[in-house]
Each structure stands twice: as structure tokens, then as C-alpha cells.
């Protein structure tokens, strides 16, 4: 059996779909369905069982028997970077992750878990080393705390006897994120803004960056899933790895990709960026006060470590990935 926590969520449900495409359906999905919109992500998937995350925590804590487990993909988390309840965030993202670590240790199961590029804070070097890590919010701190717990286990006890891999996701976008609301990707928000008003709104400039020119490493969820499956297929690979494209692209790049693909699907020609600005199809709004000092204006994954581990597939550019995503959204699937 394979367990996917957060399996009804964004990355988790895409993982389950990819496992199904491999002919694997002996999958236990663990999640919290208080947000009933996430049920849509499970409707077309084949799984063997579902368990609420609190019930599964009880199973782990009590050492109750569970069917033979070969791997755990831990995608479940409180992902709200603006969350103010630090106790809640740490219980979800740190304590729960430790329970799963012990569970995988007991079952000798592969453990592939979601970390986050937010652990790098406002830095401009994105290498998987402590000297480059500095968190800006409780979410990022919870992710770094667990990464450091794993590092400590390795230092204290030598090589861990089961696969344990942390994946520092950069800015992920793609299908099955509709339930995330304000935490959905900018590609999702830009698409829905354009469909409603024929206009995309971006944050004005910040941290010396011009309007919409803040740079992020935007990575398609399809590429994220491919990395996860690579690790499933290579249980000898351990450690903490960045998962981005290795390219920093601007929010303006995402916006013009959304605008032009929407226009093309409506039978209209593409615009240059300057034309989109002059026509009002791209505009800017002030950054919310709540984000000041907590906003990453630049991210770009150093992919050297993952490539050294043997991963060689190419990653979609914004232009390719966002075009495909707009096609998906236009088909009415989100």
C-alpha cells in the first residue's frame, strides 16, 4: 500500500492520479475534508481507502496494525503563509510530520515529504544548506523545523535505514488547486480575473523590483509529480532537494501568458506586453500591508543536488506550463 497524506489536496491528488496511471490503486488517502470542495479532486481517482488525518494520527500514535506500507507521500499541511496561529501550524506541519517519520521508520517505508522554498526567506541563494535558510513566517519555520529534525536524525544516528526525502517546492501551479482560494497560484487567479473582467491585476513593485517584475521560480505540478515518482523509483536517494525549474521568471511573464492564451482560445491574436498594458488587460495594485516584510520578491531553485541524484527531465517554462494550464481551466475542469 502507498499512503498519500493531503491526497485530496493539490499536489496530493495529482500524485494519486499519476499512480493510477501506473496501474496503482492500492492507495490510502489521508486528508481533512472539512473543505468539501476537495472531494472534487478524488471523484475521478481510484483508491483503496480513505482516512481522516486525525484518525490516522491516532493509528500512528497507538501503533495499531495497518496493511503493509511501502511508501508514504506526505503532502498534507497547513500551507497558509499568513497564518497567525503558530501552535496550529506547528502541530500540522511539524508534529504530524514527526509521527509519519516514526511510522515510516517502523514500517521501513519510503518517506517522501513536502518541504518548501519558503525556508530561504528573503535570501537570494537557494541552495539546500543551513547558511542560506532564514524564515519569514510560521509556515516557513514549521517546514524548516522538520527539515532540521531530519538532519539531526542523520547526524545523530548515521544514515537512516529507510528512504527519507524532503522536497522544497517553489511556486507550484496547475490542475486541482481550485479549493485553495486565496492560496491558489497566481496563474489560477490571473485566469479567473481575466475571465471575469478581461483584466489581470498584479502587485506593484517592491524591494526595488518594478511593477510585476518580482521574480519567482514557477513550476508546473506535472513536473513536481514527476520528481516525486523519480524518488519512488529510486529508493536509494535520500536528502533534501529543491523542486523548481532553475529559472526565475516574472509575474508579468505569467500574466501575459495567461492573457494571450485566453485571447487565442477566444479567436483573438496575441498581444505584446506593452500592448496588454496600454489596453488595460494587465494592471497593478498596491501590495497588502500584511505582506510587507513577509514576501519573497525573488526565488530561483538551485537544481544541482537533484540533478546530481540522477534526475534529468526538463522542466516546463512558464510559457509552456501556463498555456497548458489555461487549456485545462478552459475545459471547465476547475
d(CA 85, CA 129): 28
CA 216 to chain centre: 13
Show Cβ contacts of residue 116 under 8 Å, excluding neighbours closer than 6 positions.
Answer: 139, 140, 143, 168, 169
All three cell numbers of 279: 489596453
d(CA 243, CA 231): 12
d(CA 10, CA 75): 9
**Which of the following is catalytic: 40, 180, 198, 226?**
180
Of the candidates 309, 158, 334, 139, the residue with the CA atom closest to the CA atom of residue 238: 309
Cell 511508501 appears where? 71
Based on the residue annotation, tell me whether 139 is a catalytic residue of this protein. Answer: yes
**Which of the following is catalytic: 111, 139, 191, 325?**
139
Based on the residue annotation, tell me whether 198 is a catalytic residue of this protein. Answer: no
Taking every pair of C-alpha atoms in the chain, what is the biggest distance, in angstroms?
A: 64
d(CA 77, CA 6): 7
d(CA 322, CA 185): 11
Own/partner contacts of 34-39, CB < 8 Å, gap of 24 or more, are 35/179, 37/178, 37/179, 38/8, 38/9, 38/13, 38/179, 39/8
All three cell numbers of 316: 516546463
d(CA 11, CA 20): 14
| Positions marked active-site | 139, 180
Amino acid at each position: 500500500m502507498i499512503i498519500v497524506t493531503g491526497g485530496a489536496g493539490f499536489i496530493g491528488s495529482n500524485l494519486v492520479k499519476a499512480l493510477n496511471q501506473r496501474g496503482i490503486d492500492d492507495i490510502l488517502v489521508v486528508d481533512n475534508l472539512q473543505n468539501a470542495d476537495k472531494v472534487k479532486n478524488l471523484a475521478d481517482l481510484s483508491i483503496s481507502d480513505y482516512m481522516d488525518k486525525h484518525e490516522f494520527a491516532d493509528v500512528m500514535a497507538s501503533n495499531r496494525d495497518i496493511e503493509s506500507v511501502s511508501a508514504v507521500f506526505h503532502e498534507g499541511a497547513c500551507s497558509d503563509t499568513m497564518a497567525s496561529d503558530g501552535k496550529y501550524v506547528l502541530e500540522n506541519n511539524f508534529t504530524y510530520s514527526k509521527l509519519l517519520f516514526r511510522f515510516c521508520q517502523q514500517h521501513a517505508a519510503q518517506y517522501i515529504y513536502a518541504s518548501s522554498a519558503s525556508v530561504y526567506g528573503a535570501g537570494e541563494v537557494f541552495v539546500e544548506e543551513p547558511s542560506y535558510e532564514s524564515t519569514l513566517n510560521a509556515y516557513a519555520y514549521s517546514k524548516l523545523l522538520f527539515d532540521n529534525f531530519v538532519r539531526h536524525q542523520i547526524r545523530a544516528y548515521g544514515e537512516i535505514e529507510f528512504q527519507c526525502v524532503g522536497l522544497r517546492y517553489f511556486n507550484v501551479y496547475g490542475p486541482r488547486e481550485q479549493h485553495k482560494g486565496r492560496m491558489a497560484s497566481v496563474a489560477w487567479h490571473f485566469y479567473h480575473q481575466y475571465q471575469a473582467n478581461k483584466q489581470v491585476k498584479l502587485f506593484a513593485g517592491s524591494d526595488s523590483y518594478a511593477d510585476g517584475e518580482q521574480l519567482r521560480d514557477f513550476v508546473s505540478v506535472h513536473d513536481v509529480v514527476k520528481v516525486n515518482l523519480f524518488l519512488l523509483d529510486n529508493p536509494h536517494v535520500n536528502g533534501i532537494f529543491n523542486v523548481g525549474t532553475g529559472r526565475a521568471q516574472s509575474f508579468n511573464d505569467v500574466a501575459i501568458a495567461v492573457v494571450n492564451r485566453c485571447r487565442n482560445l477566444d479567436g483573438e491574436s496575441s498581444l505584446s506586453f506593452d500592448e496588454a498594458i496600454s489596453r488595460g488587460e494587465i494592471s497593478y495594485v498596491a501590495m497588502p500591508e500584511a505582506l510587507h516584510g513577509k514576501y519573497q520578491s525573488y526565488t530561483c531553485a538551485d537544481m544541482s543536488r537533484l540533478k546530481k541524484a540522477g534526475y534529468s527531465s526538463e522542466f516546463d517554462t512558464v510559457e509552456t506550463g501556463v498555456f497548458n494550464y489555461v487549456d485545462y481551466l478552459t475545459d471547465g475542469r476547475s
